A and B are shown apart, each in its own frame.
Chain A
Amino acid sequence: MATAKKANTSNDELTEGQMTRRRVLSWLSGFGLFGSAVVSVFSNLVFIKPRATYGQPNRFSIGKPEDFPSGTRITLGEHNICVVREGEKLCAISTVCTHLGCIVSTSETGFACPCHGSRYDQDGNVTGGPAPKALPWYKVSLAPNGELEVDKGEEIAAGTYFNA
């Protein structure tokens, strides 16, 4: 309305004060609405990003160190990791192929992917096939209750062992 007036009120019905008041108010309204829109769009992005997953949790207990005697090389299908222990050194290697996400199986020489023939050595390094990079290692730690915990949220450099 302010603008409508502006065009038609050459005989100065309005004072300058009223004009600025109106302008301030419309700026305020604009700021309120625009700000709300920004907050609301951002909130909705936060909303659709799940805070808690519905699958297995990222950090989970795999049991006591004694459950994995030296020489163990066992795949935990439920969590898609392979637990390897040699002497005191223990690690958890992902069994999800880095190529297109198939589940690799353990073989004599390391890991082999059934889908497109990727080959990995026993530490998960690529030895053949289309896989672009080595199988990730996950952080293993000792929980206060004496059990081993694997955190799939944290990848560590290959060759970083947990000392049991």
Chain B
Amino acid sequence: MAKNSYFSALKEMPANIWHSIFRNSLPSSDLGRAQTSFTNFFLHIHPVKVNRHTVKPWYTMGLGLISFFLFVLLTISGILVMFYYVPSTEQAYDRMLDLRGSVAFGTFLRNMHRWAAHGMVAVVFLHMCRVFFTGSYKKPREFNWVIGVVLFLLTLFSSFTGYLLPWDQLAFWAITVGASIAGYAPIVGKDIQFILLGDTNVGQEALLRFYVLHIAVLPLVMALLVSIHFWRIRKDGGLSRPEEAEDLTGEKADSLSDWPKELDVAPTPATVAASAAVIEKKQYGIQGLVRGPFTKVGNVPDKSVFSWPNLFMAELFVFVVTVAGVLVVSLLFNAPLEEPVNIAHPPNPAKAPWYFLGLQEMVSYSAFWGGVGIPTLEVLILLLVPYFDRTTKGVGRWFAKERLLANTLFLIFVIVNIILIIVGTFFRGPNWGFVSPW
């Protein structure tokens, strides 16, 4: 008998291990679906139910999530690359050659890190555009928008600090140019440049400082802000959505009939009972402490769906697509590695990283205005936008008619910046002269 029980224990071991880790089997009831969210360490940041509008793929396009997943990928690949990197002017470039030459998977990891970094700059910017064009920065989400803008700047700065680390000509001169742009700030500009570089020129000190910023300071600050950013999403009542999505009377339900049918979950007696049980157990007590709108649970006839599986599958999909994209790009294209640094022989033209080429283009007209004045103004305006624009009309819809003016202004801002970057990238040749790329 005992033998048999050992045998059955052995037989059940995989299942037992599985269940000790994942307490719930794949949920088949609303209770189970709810528990998926709040019993899983990684998933419990999610609400149990989200508004159906939240999982509309073309509303967010998953841009925020992509940014986050890229950040995760960057952290992992960055830590791995750190095993072989030495922040020394004498060794850094040789280590790059080793990554390319003798280290297993070295090239691939460096490619991943490089392309994910470029991708993150782009995606974070697109995410910001999405939030603006849907009016999602409005009350009560003003502060989250501010955090987002700060995160965007930190992303740029992270990418910029990482740019120097290979210590090749591309890195050295891009940082020289970029740091000089910072030097144009009035009064404190030279000090900022000096503190950043630790010297009057880009050299060993700058490499060490950029390294510390890149691997420790900035990622930590970003991780903290990302956490707050996520937390605020829930505390601010989930993703933004149009008023009619909140509408519980069902009057406008028809206009929403084009939503995916499969997301519609009609309450059944079973779910109602289960939900009631959940409420009895006060599993949501913590939410009760939070003021303001929060996710509805139970069998209230609302427009929400369970996070499992609707939201989680979407997130998994975004994750998989992001990873696949980065992998494929890394397989196809190698990260650039130019000549080792030659302080006496700058490339012509010496260009900053692409996302700063708009700045460099403006700097070529006016050093102060292009490099400091206009960018500072732009950032200030971005930060203050939710405090200028107080109407709550047109939230939750792309290019809402009520927001024509704001959207047009922002669109102009985006297009002008993109044009400047394109001009700086493709149309500028030796001596910053105008050249035709074809």
Which residues of A are interface residues toward B (Cβ below 8 A)? 1, 3-8, 29, 33, 43-44, 46-52
Contact = CB atoms under 8 A, between A and B. Distances in A.
Given A8-B266, A52-B102, A3 B309 contact: yes
B29 interface: yes
Contacts of B313: 1
Contacts of A48: 80, 83
A7 B98 CA distance: 55
Given A5-B262, A47-B106, 16 more contacts: A1-B262, A1-B309, A3-B28, A4-B33, A4-B265, A8-B266, A43-B104, A44-B105, A46-B105, A47-B80, A47-B104, A47-B105, A48-B80, A50-B103, A51-B104, A52-B98
Q: On chain B, which size bracket covers the interface?
A: 20 to 34
A46 B33 contact: no
12 contacts: A1-B309, A3-B26, A3-B28, A4-B33, A4-B306, A8-B265, A29-B320, A43-B105, A47-B104, A48-B80, A50-B103, A52-B102
A29 B323 CA distance: 14
Nearest to B104: A46
Contact of B310 (A1, A33, A43, A44): A1
B346 interface: no
B17 to A, nearest CB: 15
A44 B106 CA distance: 10
A48 B83 CA distance: 7
B24 to A, nearest CB: 11
B29 A7 contact: yes
A8 B268 contact: yes
A33 B327 CA distance: 13
Nearest to A10: B268
A96 to B, nearest CB: 26
B69 to A, nearest CB: 13
Interface of B: 26-29, 33, 80, 83, 98, 102-106, 109, 262, 265-266, 268, 270, 306, 308-310, 313, 320
A47 B103 contact: yes
A3 B28 CA distance: 6
B105 A7 contact: no
Contacts of B103: 47, 50-51
Contacts of A1: 262, 309-310, 313
A44 B28 contact: no
Contact of A33 (B28, B80, B320): B320
Contacts of B28: 3, 6-7
Nearest to B319: A33
Contacts of B308: 4
Contacts of B83: 47-48
A33 B322 CA distance: 13
Contacts of A47: 80, 83, 103-106, 109
A7 B26 CA distance: 11
A121 to B, nearest CB: 41
B12 to A, nearest CB: 21
Top 4 nearest A-B pairs (CB, nearest first) are A52-B102, A47-B105, A7-B28, A46-B104
Given A4-B265, A8-B266, A33-B320, A51 B29 contact: no
Contacts of B105: 43-44, 46-47
A4 B309 contact: yes
Contacts of A29: 320
B97 to A, nearest CB: 11
